[in-house]
A and B are shown apart, each in its own frame.
Chain A
Amino acid sequence: MEPILIAKDVTKRFGGLVAVNNLSLEILEGQIYSVIGPNGAGKTTFFNCITGFYTPEEGKIIFDGHEIQGLSTDHITRLGISRTYQNIRLFSNMTALENIMVGEHPHLKTFWAEAIFRTPRFLKEEAEALKEAQRLLEFVGLKGLGDSLARNLPYGAQRRLEVARALASKPKLLLLDEPTAGMNPKETEEMIEFIEMLRDELGITILLIEHDMKVVMTISDKITVLDFGTKIAEGQPEDIQRNPRVVEAYLGRGAASGLDNTAAVATAS
């Protein structure tokens, strides 16, 4: 399989703080790839570098053959990367359907003034967009809630809606920033199934930031562990669970020697 995203020596600094330090990784098409690490390890900063919110000072990010570091967020979205946010950032005073339809934006082509005259082309495109939005809404399990304002939806539904909005731009790579944060075990279980379904049914490559080790170890094909912006480990879930440096990063120096590694990492969440 081809790598869909390659990061080469990516470094992002904020003043004296090195948030991401010389990070390199390769994500293959169709993988579910997780980035984990303690709080402040630079995971979200790395996400922001990929999606164009930040420009890395050094290094390259290559997506699908394009160098994307430093491009604007809308440009990167059009190339096929979309994301969700750690703290949900829906358009809260718009309906669920409108939220998804905003996500479809990169694929809508009609000129704005056509809306005034309702040209056949415009009507067709709007109808298709609405249909697609309803399909996505059903796909994420929110059928019938299309006209509720986003802010009135329950927490779990908001997370799903955010995914639906991200999917609406038909991404090749989907970045999920802590998709199970704040969820109860049942919701988390459903989210795991949902993420696997995204990959299996839609063939989307997924890059995941997650604190819940159960989630990470269940669904990841490959994991990169960050600590203070630096990659300290990379590999299959089994390897990561046994890696002493990872345990150390989570629990502090000395912990790795005394504890059963698997248990230690599993409780670190």
Chain B
Amino acid sequence: MNQAQDTTLLDWRTAVRLGLLGGVVTLYFGAIGMVLTFSVRNLLGTFVNVGQILAVGGALTAGYLTGRAFIKSGQRKSVIPMGLLAGFVAGLPPLILVIMGTLFPINPMFVNINDELVQLITFGLGPAAGSIALVVLSAILGLAGASFELMNERWRKALINGLLWILLLGLFSENAATILEKFIGRSAVRWMFQNKSLNPIAAVVLFLITFAFSYMGTGEKGRRKWETMPPAAQSQWRRYFLILGIIFMLALPWMVGQFLSQVLFIVGLYVMMGMGLNIVVGYAGLLDLGYVAFFAFGAYTMGVLTSPQGPGGGVLNFWLALPVSILVGVMFGVLLGFPVLNMRGDYLAIVTLGFGEIIRVLAYSNWLAPIIGGAQGVLGIPSPSIFGFELNKPEYMYYLVLVGSAIAAFIASRLRDSRLGRQWMAMREDEDVAEAMGINLVQTKLLAFAIGAGFSATSGAIFASRLHNIFPNSFGILVSINVLSLIIVGGLGSLPGVVVGAAILVGLPELLREFAEYRLLMYGILLIVMMLVKPEGFWPEAARKRELRGEEEAWDETESVPAAAD
């Protein structure tokens, strides 16, 4: 069927199929309660909320995909009517929600399909008129989505930029308000963000500004200027940007306030873990699903050694306990590495998965309870302090985790560009050949496990001293899955990818708390979409290689015909 599509012309069936797909996805989102949950978050004033966007987003996407498909097959004329058709079809499945909600309002199987949902997706117009409105709106959005592809590049980019900014500011209006308050004053912010959402007038202004900037192509011009710059000037500028970046990172907690600092802190913890797992999985190719174990080792070591209520009686302070925690993590990294030395791929994954669970169960167990508290956990872990100054606020702890992540990134990048990094990658590519090249696999594998575990343990130790109380259920399999997902989403083997991945997979859910309930669903969707559309991740490693190539050997390539070497 797909092959036929490439050669023959498309007809209405494509539009209907894509429309149905969009509609069924919307139906699903509605039935599981996502639309309703998200409707709490207003986007524009009080009349546009995220739930509604979700309810008609399927039609927009279906229209867009239809438009793209028809343009690809060269049928420009059919784009508009087919987009309309796709949108119309996409508007039909959600009507099931309306019918079910109105006719069988109490359905124990579908608790989420209720009056409230019907109200929401019929825009408060009542079932009959609202249904028509929904379908008409869907059709219009389908048309809009399809015509997107008809626009010229410049318009389209500008439009996307404008809409994206509105979406972002509307979605994170609370956070944006706290940040902007420090720059444009309280009253301006009050006006801009009424009712916990973006003021429509402000939205229009914002749209116009971003649209204009984008249309004039300021970003594009800057990039071109950058590319034509001589390398010396580039590195000069790079230094300035680095300094600016550092200043920005240092000032960040004071700009964003306490809540966002806490979010940044958690993201930082995951960045640190991601850096470690990136070495194990991304560089060395050892699929480790029990990575949380080392996080737990770090946290528990810190807890037991510094908590006055623990068996250690708080003998050590944070700074003395930190190296011990790291050491314990590294030690167990090596210890757990030994039994899996001869395992590859799936087997390794299953065994490490088991290790992770064993550690969690041990933490729960009565056997170790006298030391680590069993289900009660370790309580009263003090905050770290520097010269008597207690780091008891998220803003302060942010710096600790910032320094930790920076060191982790530094070590990871230095090792990547060294002999050890090449050993890891060679092992990832072909273990047998790597060994035949004289690489000692035992040492190389254990080093990967140990360094990865060290990063994770550091992260765990900082985690423990921020939360003050740790419990075994903080160290479940989900942490391992999170870390693995974030390095895959960011781009396996890429350091900036770790940061991007952590921001997306850890930071965003913290900001969108309605999202939390559907976190795993979102992960699943994101991972599947990533694998299909962008399997190399958001910030893949290849960029680095292109960069390297551009700098050094560009002039050699003209004469580089692989011919006889004589």
Contact = CB atoms under 8 A, between A and B. Distances in A.
State yes or no: do A and B come from one complex: yes
Interface of A: 51-53, 72-74, 77-78, 82-83, 85, 89-95, 98, 101-103, 105-106, 108, 110, 112, 115-116, 118, 122, 126, 129, 138-147, 149, 153-154, 156-157, 160, 165, 169, 190, 193-194, 197
B247 interface: no
B547 to A, nearest CB: 10
Given A89-B432, A116-B410, A144-B558, 6 more contacts: A82-B437, A91-B434, A115-B419, A116-B414, A146-B553, A160-B562
A132 to B, nearest CB: 13
12 contacts: A51-B436, A52-B436, A53-B436, A74-B436, A77-B436, A102-B437, A112-B420, A115-B421, A116-B411, A141-B565, A142-B562, A193-B566
B361 to A, nearest CB: 34
Given A78-B438, A197-B566, A95 B545 contact: yes
Interface in B426-468: 426, 428-430, 432-441, 447
B227 interface: no
Nearest to A106: B438
Interface string B231-263: 000000000000000000000000000000000
A144 B566 contact: no
B440 A74 contact: yes
B416 to A, nearest CB: 9
B564 A89 contact: no
Given A112-B419, A116-B414, A147-B549, A193 B435 contact: no
Top 10 nearest A-B pairs (CB, nearest first) are A144-B560, A115-B418, A141-B565, A91-B429, A106-B438, A144-B556, A147-B549, A77-B438, A73-B436, A112-B420
Interface SS majority for chain B: helix
B75 to A, nearest CB: 35
Contacts of A118: 414
Given A105-B423, A115-B419, A53 B432 contact: yes
B422 A98 contact: yes
Contacts of A169: 437-438
B436 A83 contact: yes
A110 B439 CA distance: 14
Contacts of B440: 74
B439 A105 contact: yes
B565 A197 contact: yes
B565 A140 contact: yes
Given A77-B436, A89-B430, A102 B562 contact: no
Contacts of A91: 425-426, 429-430, 433-434
A149 B557 CA distance: 15
B434 to A, nearest CB: 7
Nearest to A189: B564
A143 B564 contact: no
Q: Which of B425, B437, B556 has most chain A Cβ within 10 Å?
A: B437
B562 A193 contact: no
Nearest to A154: B562
B315 to A, nearest CB: 29
A194 B563 CA distance: 11
Contacts of B419: 101, 105, 108, 110, 112, 115, 126, 129
Nearest to B415: A115
A169 B562 CA distance: 22
Contact of B552 (A102, A147, A153, A165): A147
A190 B564 contact: yes
A184 to B, nearest CB: 14
Contacts of A51: 436
Contacts of A154: 562
Contact of A103 (B414, B437, B559): B437
B549 A102 contact: no
Contacts of A129: 419
